[in-house]
Structure 1
Amino acid sequence: MRWAAALLVLMVAPPALMQQKKRVAPPPKPPAAQAFPIETLRVEGNRRIPAEKIVAASGLQIGRPAAKSDFDAARARLVATGAFESVGYEFKPSAAGTGYDVVLQVVEVDQVYPYRFEDLPASDDALRAALRKQESVLGDQIPPTAEVIDRYTKAIEQFLGNGVKVTGKVSTDVPGQPAIVFRPPVQRANIAEVRFTGNEVLPSALLTNTLSGVAVGVPYSEAMVRTLLDSSIRPLYEARGRIRVAFPKVVTEKAKNADGVVVIVTVNEGPSYNLGTVRLAGVAPAESEALQKVASWKKDNIANFEEINAGLGRILRRFRGYGYLRIKARVDRDIHDQDHTVGLLVTLDPGPQYTFNKLEIVGLDLTSEPAIRKAWAIKQGKPFNPEYPDSFLNDIREEGVFDNLGRTRSETRIDDAAKTVDVTLYFSGHSREGARKKGPGILD
């Protein structure tokens, strides 16, 4: 009878239970993108990193079939390098319809620092070669992120073996030149004093005071001291034509009257060199002659690189004044040891020309602002001189255009895509004076 009772219960079950809806099957998933050969493969957005390195690191290859899953994997590989803020991709049928046209879209990490090694049991060249085998995208400058530094640290430890421990940290030992330093995790003694031997051309007091200003109180490492020598002492010698100056020995001894170490630097000053022929590349021959005059480099005189660099600065300033805000320059030396001369090849890359777009004025009343706009000399669409806004404000102050003129400043906004520049001028604490000056003024 139990089966009969069960049948009875089923038969008197609530109508809702008896009328349950049948399950509806879920809609079918859209078909995955089919694999087709990659016919073209481009990179967009890269600045420092060559496109071929990015393509190699992605794992994609022209001619090899790929689908969406392959592009996702390529994106993940590029993100894992730590070299990019973001990575995207786009793929679409080629014009012939027989494969994909693919674009890798990257935004590179802006902040990158050089790296160096200290007190590790391997040469600099060997360590860098080992890292290049593993890190195919990043070069001699890397992002200071924990992930990248940790990855480099582990790669160095693996290369050194024998249980050698390494730590990587951002160092600001050299003022204005942050770097990532890989070294053993032990405390270093601070530099208490510096001395020089072997110098004759430059007095010891000058060398000692110059290096002491940047080295005393800094934890010692030979690599760091050599970096400081190159940034502070070498320019003193190169201003006197001693371009072969060398520092063959850097040793330390315990300081007697203070905690720390005394650093003793041996100097080989080398002979004096004269300036030979200077050639300019990247500009028209007719322009080269004019730029040589702007630089005022003196052939056959002592190769004073302080003056040479100042001359190059005047050339760059001239280009920027014509709107070439991103101009770059490289100086290659052609050293002739037999006759003690050094020639220069100065390669200029002006880059795009930027034009003025829009002027905004903040802090002036309806009477004063139109007069200032009228006096502003750079017209829309004309090459932008980055020195002009501050020069314009200085002229206003010197001509006494306003009574009680307070703080003024200019702000520029560069649009790299449109190659244009917007300027905002800020005024505070003033009243319009009127034309009390004799002769023409800025508002005339």
Structure 2
Amino acid sequence: MRSTTLRPALLALCLSVPTLQLSAQTFKLPPITFTGAPAFSQADLLKVSGLQPGATATQADVQAAAQHLSDTGLFSDIRFESNATGLVYDLKPMPPEHLLRASFTNFVWWSPTELTTALKARVPLYTGVVPTAGNLQDTIASALKAMVAEKGTTASIVAIPHSAQPGATPSSIAFKIESPAVRVQTITLIHASPAMQPRLDSVIKDQTNQPFDTTTTHTSITTALTSAYHDAGYLDMAVLNLTQAPPQVTPNGIDLAFTATLSEGQPYQLFQLNWPGSDIISTADFYKQAKMKPGDMASEAALRQSLSIIAGAYFAKGFQDAKVKAPATFDHLGHHVSYTITVDPGPQYHIHSVKALGLSAEQQKQFDSAWHMNPGDFYDTTYLTNFLHNNSALQSLAGYSATYNASSDPDTHLVDLTITFAKGGVLN
């Protein structure tokens, strides 16, 4: 008994298995078994191989079957042999680092579960992950194209690697209808009061005519509506339901209509905004600058602006990790709310070094003269922005732009600041 190995990079193979008497002549295929890859069904593996027990075949057909399996990109090594049980293909699955999770951006006719079920029925060996190489991506895209065509739309499907963070290694492959455009066309609000309509009109304008995304659109609409109400003091507001009507195919794209059912509640007023004061910013100084006073509408936007005053004061003194919190205490019967502000300042950071790159000798001289945050000083995270926006002494840098990198050492609490200037853009 002899065996033959197929690796993805190896295309020319030699097979000699006496039991089957494989040659250029045809022979009857015995039972076929696949081992080493229990995640895949025998039926799906057989379908991809193109073989059928009992059918006539040649040596080239047996070898081609291994190649078909290899072309999917799901296997790093394939060996096949003839033994007493028949023809056996031993498969070595591709390591996990060569497989990415499949996601689907805007296939609006199906829920994620329905889409997965439909693809598993149409694409043998699809289990929810896609190899980084091989033809399985194209096979999935073709299946999706056919599914969309059955809905009356001729679509262009693309597969795009997606990373959780910019520049990071891709963690998934996102399949997307590239054309026609899939868009949010309308948003209808149920139980919205006339008093809120101007704010809600702005939300609807921002959220419509936007590309639809299965994972983000519902959240984006819900968050935008909730923020509009909370910024107007309706702190009990909730989106009870957000429904999506069947998509409408038009000459310009695939349009979606949403309906949001709202529970507004009653607006709240601010009862107290408590800041006990600190060495960084006193109670009196904060209240002079605060954007909300007792009796005002309890706007979350005004609260954020007020808290940023305290945060900015801490940042200016080198507390770049400062965390400002303001838990709410509600009087639901009287519709009043109070906030007590606390700060976890964290360590205080100082400047270790400052470098300005991309400057001529004259420009460096002007920079050194105007710059006043030097080694040993507190690291003020707002100073650089204000300096670039407001300093008129940098005449020679008109027509330049700047980027910066602040490298902080969490052990020494020292910051190395590098500012890089380049021609073009605005100095900010």
TM-score by length of 1: 0.48
What's the TM-score once normalised by structure 2's chain length?
A: 0.50
